[in-house]
Amino acid sequence: MNIILLGPPGAGKGTQASRLQDERGMVQLSTGDMLRAAVKDGTPVGLKAKAIMEAGELVSDEIVSGIIGEALDKLSPETGVIFDGYPRTAAQAESLDAILAARGRKLDHVIELAVDEEALVERITGRFTCGNCGEGYHDTFKQPKQAGVCDACGSTEFKRRPDDNEETVRTRMTEYRAKTAPILPIYKSRHLLKKVDGMAAIDVVTSQIETILG
């Protein structure tokens, strides 16, 4: 099964994708995670992407479609994939069709996480992760049980994404509205689009998605 999670930044795509990965043995392909790794490693892609990501703008379609194709080539054909943060433009949606077809895959579902934009700013600007294991936290909604210590691994190192500040988040939302939201009707007309309430509790969203996937 190949599915896309679509929604604005902070809608919960990454959280839901990692749950599906753990529960269904699918693989999460997050272009944001792959680009952040490239920036950290200082690869040619990372060098091109760094300033664009820090500004909250979109990296070029060629770069992201290239890394998606490479990531798919590392998976066996039977492995199910969750696309998280890709496609983000009409050109990427078109490329994805070609990339999947060339590998004998097809798109099964496109799931839109529908959310209230103002709530997203609070969600995003408050989030942080464990620097060691990646466990996610939030200033208001999910503090570590013991202040300053990761519940999952005991590490005391935490980090925040450089693009999770209010100004950049507003740019990321504008990019979403202008370039990503217009691909929703494309998938709707292909009868692939399903909408879930991304404002519901995390477990409720997961079960809505599970119902869609069957």
How far is C-alpha 184 from the chain's CA centre?
A: 16
Q: Would you mind telling me the total number of residues written for the chain in this entry?
A: 214
Q: Which two tokens stand for residue 75?
A: 């998976």
Do 186 and 4 form a contact (C-beta atoms < 8 A)? no
Nearest-angstrom CA–CA distance, 123 and 81: 26
Please say if 88 is a catalytic residue: yes
* CB 3 to ligand AMP: min, Å: 15
Our answer to whether residue 50 is catalytic in this structure is no
Candidate list 4, 6, 35, 72; residue touching ligand AMP; CB under 6 A: 35
Q: Which of the following is catalytic: 160, 161, 194, 195?
A: 161
Cβ closest to ligand AMP, residue 163 vs residue 196: 163
For residue 110, give the H/E element and its range: strand 109-114
Strand partners, 114: 197
Q: How many residues bind ligand AMP, per CB under 6 A?
A: 17
Q: Which stretch binds ligand AMP (CB under 6 A): 53-61, 135-143, 149-157, 198-206?
A: 53-61
CA-nearest of 209, 214, 211 to 19 is: 209
Q: Among this protein's residues, is 127 annotated catalytic?
A: yes
Q: Known catalytic residue: 19?
A: no
Can you say whether residue 152 is alpha, beta or left, with left for phi > 0 and alpha for psi between -120 and 50 degrees? alpha
Q: Is 161 a catalytic residue?
A: yes
Residue among 9 and 12 whose Cβ is closer to ligand AMP:
9
Contacts (CB under 6 A) with ligand AMP, residues 171-190: 172
Q: Annotated catalytic residue: which of 88, 105, 123, 179?
A: 88
- In the bound state with ligand AMP, the residue whose beta carbon lies nearer, of 105 and 172, is 172
- For the CB of residue 172, give the shortest distance to ligand AMP in the complex, in Å: 5
Quick one: 41 or 78, whose CB is closer to ligand AMP? Answer: 41
Applying CB under 6 A, which of residues 37, 52, 90, 91 lies at the interface with ligand AMP?
52
Q: DSSP per residue over 145-180, as a string? A: SBTTB-TTT----EE--TT-SHHHHHHHHHHIIIII
Q: At its nearest, how many Å lie between ligand AMP and the CB of residue 108? A: 19
Burial string for 3-12 (b: 16+ CB within 10 Å, else e) reads: bbbbbbbbbb
Residues lying near ligand AMP in the complex (CB under 6 A) are found at 9, 31-32, 35, 52-53, 56-59, 64, 85-86, 88, 92, 163, 172
